[in-house]
Amino acid sequence: MELLKKNIHTERIKAKALLQIPLEEDVNVSDTKPDVARIVCCSGRVKVDEIKMGMNKIWVKGRLEFQVMYQAEGAGADLSGMEGEIPFMEEIYLDKMEGQDRVICKAQLDDLRVQIINSRKLNVQAVISLEPKVEETVSEEICTELEGLETGGMEGGLEYRKKKLDYLETVVKKRDLLRIHEETKLPAGMPDMGTAIWKSMDIAQISFKATDEKLAVNGEMNVFVVYREDSSDKINWYEATVPFSGNVECQNSREGMLADVSYDIGHEEISIRDDSDGEPRIIGIEAALELEIKLYEREQEQVVADVYGVSCEVNAVTDSRSFRDLLADMNIEEKLARNIKLEDSESKVLQICHCNARAVIEDIVFEQNEARITGAVELKILYTTSAEGQAICSVHDSLPFEITRELEGVDGADIEQYTTDVQLTQQNVSIKDSAQLEWRGMLNIRLLIYDSKSEAILTDLKLSPIPPEVLEGLPGFAIYYVNNGDSLWQIGKKYYVSVERIKEINDLTDDVVKAGDRLLIVK
């Protein structure tokens, strides 16, 4: 007799941590830049450059890249900009971490503030979060069949039943890069670009789809440039939504697989180039998306659950194994709106230039029948003003949100593993009056909820003759009255009789019995 086994591959979280750290540095304004009179806006992005691994700890090396747009001192109220970075190196304790493990570290900028020390020096303060995680792919063996029962003897006298096992098979797990090379051109009527003061690129929306041997990526990015006109030296700006797409090679990928992909923006560069007429009207965008790709296939397998002997004693050896399954794949949409009233001290609105909105999930609480998601949308709006000596101003606001959704067929109390992807779409900023704005947008959250479950899996069978004292205690035939909770399997196991034998003797067409039924048992 042989146990026919199948190898399956599943994911489990081995270790994870969360560390929030402050960064602060005084930055000198370059000698080529004018003096600072007023900070207009600032932005930043955290980049992880290197992760060194040790026993139970890692070292994360990276940097905070920031840029500042400011109003210059002196006549003309000119705008200028500067860039810089703050390096960091952090040691993070990870329980059960080993030197050969592969670590994924998600980095996020929680807060960024820039203050003026004097006209030639700025103070940059930030709070960043580092969330390292070790996920390992585990190969597990499951017993799907018993072979060789037809040989007779002890092995031929076995009765076994199966159970259904639902799980996610990990087909692809890899880290890869998607390089983006796109461009956009200034519309006719807009003046040529001279010097760029502010350049930003953000992913507006992105989607991932598994196809044959590839992962298809489609999305849109928002590009915003504040520049000095080439001819008149006036300040102007341009904003565009640029679509992009690409494919990443994924061996064994097939259409219909579940794609769980996270991304970070690695290298990014926005450049001003000449068009075919030699005029500086082309904005080139180059970026590298660092993708953490996991492709799963939902599988259902019948595994051997229990074995007993009809002509022998059976000791079924089992072991607890862990498997990952998908509980829910939810796409949540929520319309959000916010009225923003300017303070009396703030300059009045003439025209909207740009809106930078970022949604942050602060907490997800799973209860018995629902999921409650809380967070905030951080709003940063740039606008022009007619105030003397101020070309562009900014206003900041925060819109908290709480979203509740039902969990159909899912017990929220047992949920421990989930991933989220948050996007803001359909954004619009309108001017209600010179001191009041209205922001509207659609919050899209994809929530993948996983189930980490343990199952007793058959690993070996040990057969031996039925002890003589057991044989002597077995009746040649008996009348058995079915009790509540009894099954033909339990009755057959008790009397060393096969289920088919009981059904044949009692003219049963299926395995269903109920309390009070009378069964004839013949050994």
Residues 322 and 455 in one domain: yes
344 vs 423, more confident: 423
Residues 254 and 173 in one domain: yes
**Domain of residue 329, residue span:** 318-466
Read off the pLDDT band of 344 (50, 70, 90).
Answer: confident
Read off the pLDDT band of 412 (50, 70, 90).
Answer: low
Residue 475 covered by a domain: yes
Domain termination site, one of 251, 279, 311: 311
DSSP letter at 156 equals: G
User: Quick check: helix, strand or coil at residue 297?
Assistant: strand
Please name which of 134, 201, 146, 193 lies closest in space to residue 1, comparing C-alpha atoms: 146
Residue 98 covered by a domain: yes
Residue 3 covered by a domain: no
Read off the pLDDT band of 152 (50, 70, 90).
Answer: very low
Q: What pLDDT shows up at residue 76? A: 57
Residues 505 and 522 in one domain: yes
Please name which of 146, 23, 140 lies closest in space to residue 89, comparing C-alpha atoms: 23
Residue 490 covered by a domain: yes
pLDDT in tens, 479-523: 999 999 899 999 999 999 999 999 999 999 998 999 999 999 987
Domain termination site, one of 311, 327, 345: 311
Q: What pLDDT shows up at residue 128? A: 97
Q: What pLDDT shows up at residue 14? A: 86
Residues 339 and 458 in one domain: yes
Residues 119 and 235 in one domain: no
Number of domains in the chain: 4
In whole angstroms, give the CA distance from residue 13 to residue 419: 12
Residues 255 and 377 in one domain: no
Q: What pLDDT shows up at residue 2? A: 82
- Taking residues 213-238, report their average pLDDT: 92
Q: What pLDDT shows up at residue 151? A: 44
Phi-psi region of 294 (alpha: psi -120 to 50; beta: other; left: phi over 0): beta
Percentage of the chain beyond pLDDT 70 is 97
In whole angstroms, give the CA distance from residue 512 to residue 489: 10
In whole angstroms, give the CA distance from residue 370 to residue 333: 16
12 vs 82, more confident: 82
Return the top range by mean pLDDT from 86-90, 410-414, 481-485: 86-90
345 vs 121, more confident: 121
- Taking residues 396-419, report their average pLDDT: 86
Q: What pLDDT shows up at residue 243? A: 97
Domain termination site, one of 293, 311, 329: 311
Query: Poorest-confidence range of 96-105, 332-341, 431-440, 478-487?
Result: 96-105
Please name which of 318, 329, 314, 225 lies closest in space to residue 273, comparing C-alpha atoms: 225
DSSP letter at 342 equals: -
In whole angstroms, give the CA distance from residue 260 to residue 254: 14
Residue 353 covered by a domain: yes
Number of H helices, E strands in the chain: 3, 21
Query: Poorest-confidence range of 144-153, 303-312, 415-424?
Result: 144-153
Residue 115 covered by a domain: yes
Q: What is the pTM of this model?
A: 0.87
pLDDT in tens, 247-296: 999 999 999 999 999 999 988 999 999 999 999 999 999 999 999 999 99
In whole angstroms, give the CA distance from residue 261 to residue 185: 31
- Taking residues 386-390, report their average pLDDT: 69
